[in-house]
Amino acid sequence: MIISMKITVYNIRIVLEQKLEGDKVQSSPVVSGGYVYVRSDDKKIYCLNVKTGAKVWQYETEGLIYSSPTVSGDKVYVGSTDNKVYCLNAAIGDTGS
């Protein structure tokens, strides 16, 4: 699937296109610190560079993700149907464990 997003940040319209493995992106993207965070229906959350659209990292959970990710400071949070809330390093996409 090729994701195409039109995002307006500080009155600047950004168009990103990136091939992702899932079939659908059905949540709102989150823009923070030069990155776009989005989930797909393939149990993964993706981090894209806001300027280039390039995939920076992806992280696969053990269950489906229906909610939009949330960013606070240098962490990305996302809940999954595996009854877990994941806390990922926003820059590199790992849990630190």
pTM, to two decimals: 0.77
- The rounded distance, in Å, linking the Cα atoms of 54 and 36 is 10
- The rounded distance, in Å, linking the Cα atoms of 97 and 53 is 28
78 or 16, higher pLDDT: 78
Which domains are delineated in the chain? 2-89 (2.40.128.630)
- 3 alpha-carbon distance from chain centroid: 12
Tens-place pLDDT, residues 2-56: 445 555 554 445 445 555 555 566 678 888 998 989 888 889 998 988 877 788 9
DSSP 69: P
pLDDT band for position 96 (50/70/90)? confident
The pLDDT score that the predictor gives to residue 31 is 87
